[in-house]
Amino acid sequence: MSHVLILGTGGTIAGTASDPGRSWAYRAAQLSVEQLVDAVPELAACALATRQVAQIDSKDMGWVTWQALGQAIEGAMADEATSAIVITHGTDTLEETACLLHALHDGRKPIVLTAAMRPATAPDADGPANLVQAVQLAQAAAQRGEGGVAVALAGQAWSARDVRKAHSHAIDAFDGGGAAPLQGHDPWPQPEARGWHGLRHAQPPRVEVVTSHADADGWLVDAALAHAQASGSKLDGLIVACTGHGTMHEKLEAALQRARDAGVLVWRSSRVARGGVQPRDGDAWPAAGAWTPAQARVRLLLELLSARR
Ligand code: SIN
């Protein structure tokens, strides 16, 4: 019989507080994914397998964990016994991992990410219901031959292409940046199937995010360029979290021009929660579309990696 494979990476969903009455004072990534599953009676009758890929607070997410996750997903795609994948993740960088998987996954089987805003020991823990929602969504998607990447939380489902964290502490912390949640049996957006080979590079390109704001005079950009030059390292890309629909302080723009002259790829995104920066004819600086600055960083990493091949 085929099963849903649950890959654990940590997060608040696996977090514990020593005093359940003070559940805000908790540590993320304490319980194993097996413990999370065992604690949910509604999952007892489901055909599930678990694998701990990482055990981190997702603020510490990065290349090495993405490599491990990519390997586990590739293995599960080749395993006939696995019908779908659920990933337990922290909420803080979930939108980055979701965006990465949407770009790389080949769409053979559904992948559903889930998370929680309250630790597992909280009296109002949301993790168990979110895990059940994710498993049910993954099972239903596998049955109808769906192969995209979705995110299931707080009774709603989002495409991995659109999802982002939109509230720092509300239980329904996610939205689609203006895109609607997935409804019922609506088809999920097709993943881009770029393949996992890019993750095999030992080191990712260096891409940093700078924000335009009052008095943003480009000091950080010049400092990064000077550091790269002095240390013999390379700054490959910069994402600008722009004001409004892609504008930036003129002094920051002048520094970015210096960076571009030094070979750094620069993309614009927006620090505004919804809408992003839509590309227009004659753009002086490429626009990252609807992606958040953190997601735009993932996308630029992937662009730079494909240029390396
Ligand atoms: C994390 O992102 O790992 C901690 C915060 C959370 O999951 O809500």
If asked whether residues 174 and 217 sit together in one domain, one would say no
Chain segment 165-188, per-residue pLDDT in tens: 999 999 999 999 999 999 988 899
CB 131 within 8 A of CB 29: no
d(CA 9, ligand 1 centre) in Å:
11
If asked whether residues 163 and 41 sit together in one domain, one would say yes
d(CA 91, ligand 1 centre) in Å:
4
If asked whether residues 44 and 113 sit together in one domain, one would say yes
If asked whether residues 38 and 183 sit together in one domain, one would say yes
Chain segment 238-288, per-residue pLDDT in tens: 999 999 999 999 999 999 999 999 999 999 999 999 999 999 999 999 999
pLDDT at 255: 98
If asked whether residues 183 and 256 sit together in one domain, one would say no
Percentage of the chain modeled with pLDDT above 70 = 100
Which range marks the domain in which residue 112 is found?
3-196
Give the count of domains, the chain: 2
pLDDT at 11 over 90: yes
- Domain final residue, candidates 143, 175, 196: 196
* CATH code of 223's domain: 3.40.50.40
Enclosing H/E stretch for 41: none
Q: In the predicted model, what is the mean pLDDT of the chain?
A: 97
Q: How far is CA 94 from CA 26, 50, 90, 191, 253, in A?
A: 19, 19, 6, 17, 30
pLDDT at 142 over 90: yes
Q: What is the dihedral of CA 90, 112, 133, 290, to 10 degrees?
A: 70
| 81-109: average pLDDT | 98
If asked whether residues 65 and 190 sit together in one domain, one would say yes
Looking at residue 210, its amino acid is V
Reference 220, options 263, 247, 245, 249; nearest CA is 249
Q: Which residue has the tokens 């990252």?
A: 288
Mark residue 155 as left, alpha or beta (left: phi above 0; alpha: psi -120 to 50; beta: remaining): left
pLDDT at 309 over 80: no
**Cross-strand pairs, 50:** 6
* CATH code of 39's domain: 3.40.50.1170
Inter-helix orientation angle 219-231/250-261, to 10°: 20
**Cα separation, 38 vs 36, whole angstroms:** 6
If asked whether residues 42 and 172 sit together in one domain, one would say yes
39 CB neighbour count, 10 Å cutoff: 14
If asked whether residues 228 and 170 sit together in one domain, one would say no
204 contact partners, CB below 8 Å, separation of at least 6: 63, 301, 305
**Sign for the pseudo-dihedral over CA of 164, 162, 97, 157:** positive
- Domain final residue, candidates 147, 163, 196: 196
Specify the ligand 1 atom closest to the Cα of 10.
3
If asked whether residues 117 and 143 sit together in one domain, one would say yes
**Size of the chain in residues:** 309
pTM of the model: 0.97
d(CA 13, ligand 1 centre) in Å:
7
- Domain final residue, candidates 151, 180, 196: 196
At residue 114, the 3 state secondary structure works out as strand
Strand ranges in 176-244 using DSSP code E only, listed in sequence order: 207-211, 237-242
Poorest-confidence range of 10-24, 101-115, 140-154, 167-181?
10-24
**Cα separation, 181 vs 231, whole angstroms:** 46
Q: Tell me the best of 9, 91, 97, 151 to mutate to test the pocket of ligand 1, counting ligand atoms within 8 Å of each CB and taking the most.
A: 91
Helices (H), 45-167: 63-78, 94-104, 127-143
Looking at residue 255, its amino acid is A
Q: Is 9 a catalytic residue?
A: no
pLDDT band at 1 (very low <50, low <70, confident <90, very high): confident
pLDDT at 23: 78
pLDDT at 122: 94
d(CA 41, ligand 1 centre) in Å:
24
pLDDT at 270: 98
**Cα separation, 273 vs 289, whole angstroms:** 13
| 89-102: average pLDDT | 98
d(CA 177, ligand 1 centre) in Å:
20
Chain segment 18-63, per-residue pLDDT in tens: 987 887 899 999 999 999 999 999 999 999 999 999 999 999 999 9
Spell out which residues line ligand 1, taking CB within 6 angstroms.
10-12, 28, 57-59, 90-92, 115, 117
| 107-112: average pLDDT | 98
Q: What is the DSSP string of 86-101?
A: EEE--STTHHHHHHHH
If asked whether residues 154 and 212 sit together in one domain, one would say no
If asked whether residues 159 and 296 sit together in one domain, one would say no
Q: Tell me the best of 12, 33, 61, 171 to mutate to test the pocket of ligand 1, counting ligand atoms within 8 Å of each CB and taking the most.
A: 12
Q: Which residue has the tokens 């990065």?
A: 62
Ligand 1 atom 7: the closest Cα is on which residue?
Answer: 90
If asked whether residues 58 and 106 sit together in one domain, one would say yes
Q: Tell me the best of 13, 16, 58 to mutate to test the pocket of ligand 1, counting ligand atoms within 8 Å of each CB and taking the most.
A: 58
pLDDT at 117: 98
pLDDT band at 308 (very low <50, low <70, confident <90, very high): confident
pLDDT band at 234 (very low <50, low <70, confident <90, very high): very high
